[in-house]
Structure 1
């Protein structure tokens, strides 16, 4: 009787689910493809000489409970305010003080979508890359919200991601994927096909241009100090590239990053700060290498089962040539999407927590590892 029960239990607990998974696999039309060979590159030259791998030891938390997944961070120096977009649609303003306990969070404007990238226009506007809505212009101290653009070359945006404003007023921004929305972004990772675009919008002519297409989840974008080129991130490829504006050409800025890049910010002092949403875990390595595994992960994700894990996020500092300088991370740290240096502090946005994380770089510096 015990043997019969064990056999029946084994059949229903293992073999039946296995048979069901085979049927689902065969019937599902999702068709992942191999990634380019350089997506699997890991380079020792991308590891900075200075490391702080205990970020959370000295971290402070701003706006706890009042900021629902603050993804990007934009600092307005004149008002000493941080602007950040939250998952509930709010663009919020956060006052900066020496003590995090003195910071005040203000509900400013609700876009009705999912605000991600934030930048400041030339005439007091706040430009928002809203994943659901498109590129927005918020003016008159939040009283007016205008849609600037939500398509290019007849293809609508599905995940408007990051934005930066040039000195001549032109907006440069990314659409991470024109195929999947923000709730499906993991499917873009798993499919292995390039659906991302780097674009520009001229507020004078109202023309939206596609500068670079066929990008693998186009994410953060930043302007060089001399305004001659952009640096933009491709999350899946673990690389950042330069786009020369006048020459209209692309070259690699840094590749083989130790994690998956999200936003990139220039600090005004000769450095870029690249947020790494996760380290390269073993499950991710295997999934990148084998399309059939990505299809299995896709099917599981459709039914609410998460098979890929995100951990050991951080922010990496590089110089103007893409040379790594320092990395600030921590093993339980995850979903870090932006890193902005304000004074002596590093402020980090995220996709998981209800606060902004702050680290004093003088008290808790990155150091050489023995």
Structure 2
């Protein structure tokens, strides 16, 4: 006689009636994957003390970005790397026509001299000349064959032709320079230069951009009286400097504002400031006059959507600052290059490349341009006669 079975006692029934644990497990996974990171990020954002300020966005959006009538959008094609591995971070480049040498300052503190090659000696010769003990940025030649150096760490320096280094000034109005940056010398010997940020040093310069407050200054140094004078204050990362060929004004760059301004040192407008050029197609660094009626401006990068949003909204810059601290900031730099403008600020030609960024200086020697970079371990050379810009329809 067979034994009767209760359906409720069958293994199948036990399986069917066993409580499911899938819902709590899924909830926990969802919390860990989605909700917890959001809560953590929110807490970090609220507790982080970094407080970016609104930038004067209206000054950046008065009209569309200017476009040059002629472009070379692939300037890396045909470019040559000069001093690869030897010139590390050649931020500014200056040409001494009398000796045929290019001077540049590198990240290891050395002022280096590069001998241009010729048909008999096709190789570039790089000489480590003088070490400033800091981080040389802007360079200019003085009236007595000396080199005036804007050293980010040390201040404004004078280097004699014999290689003797002397500090000229490292503070103004009782405030130390944070990043001594661009420099040029007028025919009367007056030295004009910038302190990009008196709050941040070069190692932390990105925080000046992210904070969005005007800590930059444009100044002069009188070699006779040894006096340092602040000419313009409250600038947004004051950068490159160039004295106009007629000596009537001095042009200086404000990098995040994508503009160059001019300060009059002679005439009826003496002491006043005007915009020389704005809405540039990139962020300006150094600027130089080529002796042929054109200024050449180094553009570290082109404005991007990410950059535009960061400029417009302080909270995005705060997020970028938090990323800079904990995970690393996303790389948004591209389409760096150089721009030629005439003496009235009209755009002439624009060289750039999607694979190029952090171009910090440019000089024109004959048919060639030489570009420095605060980041790359070389200078770029491009023959602009062989690789010219083309008219844009």
Bin of the TM-score, shorter chain as denominator length: over 0.9
> Is the alpha carbon distance of 1:112 and 1:42 closer, same or farther for their aligned partners in structure 2, counting shifts above 3 Å?
farther
**Structure 1 residues 219 and 8, CA gap change in structure 2 (3 angstroms):** same
Match of 1:108 in 2: 129
Q: How does 1:341-352 map to 2 (within 5 A)?
A: 341-352=364-375
Secondary structure of the 2:307 match is helix
Q: 1:4 to 1:113 in 2, by over 3 A?
A: farther
Instruction: Provide TM-score, normalisation by structure 2.
Output: 0.90
Structure 1 residue matching 2:230: 3-state secondary structure: strand
Q: In the alignment, which of 330, 334, 345 is matched to residue 307 of structure 1?
A: 330
Structure-2 separation of matches of 1:149 and 1:38: 36
Q: Normalised by the size of structure 1, how large is the TM-score?
A: 0.96
Unaligned runs of 5+ in 2: 1-20
* Maintained 8 Å contact 1:134/1:147: yes
Say if 1:220 and 1:79 are closer, same or farther in 2 by CA, change over 3 A.
Answer: same
Tell me, which stretches of 5 or more residues in structure 1 are unaligned? none
User: Which residue is 1:71 aligned to?
Assistant: 91
Q: Secondary structure at the match of 1:41?
A: coil
For residue 162 of structure 2, give the secondary structure of its aligned residue in structure 1. Answer: helix
Decide whether aligned partners of structure 1 residues 269 and 112 sit closer, same or farther in structure 2, where only a CA change above 3 A counts: same
Pick from 112, 115, 119: which aligns with 2:140? 119
8 Å contact from structure 1 (residues 43, 257) kept in 2:
no
Q: CA 1:14–1:84 in structure 2 vs 1: closer, same or farther (change >3 Å)?
A: farther
Where does residue 44 of structure 2 map in the other structure? Answer: 24
Between the aligned partners of 1:71 and 1:20, the Cα distance in structure 2 is 39
Matched, 1:183 2:185: no
CA deviation after TM superposition for structure 1 residue 22, in Å? 1.6
Displacement after TM superposition at 1:140 (Å):
4.1
C-alpha displacement of 1:101: 4.9
- Partners of 2:25 and 2:118 in 1: how far apart? 66
Q: 1:40 to 1:7 in 2, by over 3 A?
A: farther
Given candidates 344, 356, 367, the residue that maps to 2:379 is 356
Work out which of the residue numbers 50, 60, 65 in structure 2 matches 1:40. Answer: 60
Secondary structure in structure 1 of the residue aligned to 2:301: strand
Q: Match of 1:275? A: 298
1:214 lines up with 2:234 in the alignment: yes
Which residue among 242, 246, 271 is the counterpart of 1:248?
Answer: 271
**RMSD, aligned CA:** 1.7
Alpha-carbon distance in structure 2 between the residues aligned to 1:38 and 1:115: 34
Question: How big is each residue's C-alpha offset from its partner over 1:311-357, in whole Å with a ceiling of 9 and x where there is no partner?
Answer: 00010000000000000001111110111101110110012211100
For residue 58 of structure 1, what is the aligned residue in structure 2?
Answer: 78
Between the two proteins, the alignment pairs up a number of residues equal to 369
- How far the C-alpha of 1:308 sits from its partner, in A, is 4.7
Shift of 1:88: 1.3
Q: Select the residue among 209, 213, 220 that pairs with 1:193.
A: 213
Q: Which of the two has higher C-alpha Rg?
A: 2
- Structure 1 SS opposite 2:183: strand
Counterparts in 2 of 1:104 and 1:25: CA distance versus 1, 3 Å? same
Relative to structure 1, the CA distance from residue 20 to residue 266 in structure 2 (aligned partners, 3 Å threshold; closer, same or farther) is same
Tell me, in whole angstroms, the C-alpha distance in 2 between the residues paired with 1:283 and 1:42.
Answer: 19
Q: Which residue of 2 aligns with 1:338?
A: 361
In the TM superposition, residue 300 of structure 1 has moved relative to its aligned partner by 1.1
- How many angstroms apart in 2 are the aligned matches of 1:166 and 1:343? 23
Separation (CA, whole Å) in 1 of partners of 2:243 and 2:374: 24
- Contact map agreement 1:38 1:237 (CA 8 A) in 2: no
1:266: Cα distance to partner? 0.5
The CA deviation at 1:69 is 1.0
- Counterpart contact for 2:70–2:392, Cα < 8 Å: yes
Rounded to whole Å, the distance in 1 between the matches of 2:62 and 2:116 is 38
